[in-house]
Amino acid sequence: MSERDKLIQLIKDRSYKYSENPPFKLSSGGYSNFYFDLKKTTYSPFGQHLIGKIVFEKLIELSLKIDALGGLTMGADPIALAVAHYSYERGRPIEAFSIRKEPKGHGTMHQIEGYIKEGDRVVIIDDVITTGASTIKAIKVAEEFGLNIQAVIVLLDRCEQNGRQNIEACGYDVHSVLTLYDFQQVT
């Protein structure tokens, strides 16, 4: 079984719910038959192992040469950390960063945490996209900071409510590791 198939199975076991009636309220306010609580996967040891390897290999496949990757906290955090760890083990270290929803109210008052600087080449990541609003918020903060966004990678595209299109309208290519269609046989 490939790492990708193992990740699909882990998500199915830990994070995926389906119902004939659309009972799952989404952050967008809409309702869906499908729900993915990916933090139950992305925060797990095996999930971290799989995600670090799969996303790192996606960066290689896309020929993306970056200094760092990250996105809006909490969805992006475990993915960024898993990739940073895996990249270090492979001798090609990539920094991780996290974007706070609001600037820190004390100390340096940063909204972005991690070892990054203006002009760094980055990939914005997210765990799940529906409308793309969280990812777009991360993009805007990264742009304001002066980061050079190379692309957006999402672990799972729900393929609902134009998330991919909304993000692409910001001017960036969006690449997903998985989509809702990888789970259709589960329903």
Return the pLDDT at 25.
82
* Residue 52's CATH number: 3.40.50.2020
Q: Which of 94-98, 116-120, 182-186 has the lowest mean pLDDT?
A: 182-186
For the chain, give the number of residues. 187
Return the pLDDT at 48.
98
Q: Which domain holds residue 107?
A: 3-186
Longest alpha-carbon distance in the chain: 50
Return the pLDDT at 116.
96
Return the pLDDT at 97.
98
C-alpha–C-alpha distance, residues 69 and 49, integer Å: 17
Residue 85 has pLDDT above 60, yes or no: yes
How many CB atoms neighbour CB 44 within 10 A? 16
Return the pLDDT at 106.
65
Return the pLDDT at 185.
56
Task: Give the pLDDT band (50/70/90) at residue 135.
Answer: very high
Residue 86 has pLDDT above 70, yes or no: yes
What is the residue-averaged pLDDT of the chain?
Answer: 93
Return the pLDDT at 187.
42
State the average pLDDT over residues 133-162. 96
Cα three-residue angle 140-177-18, rounded to 5 degrees:
100
Residue 105 has pLDDT above 80, yes or no: no
Q: DSSP secondary-structure letter at 74?
A: T
Residue 107 has pLDDT above 90, yes or no: no
Amino acid at the residue 90: R
Residue percentage of the chain with pLDDT more than 90: 81
Structural domain total, the chain: 1
Instruction: Convert the pLDDT of each residue in 159-178 to its tens digit.
Output: 988 999 999 999 999 999 99
Pairing of strands 121-129, 95-99: unpaired
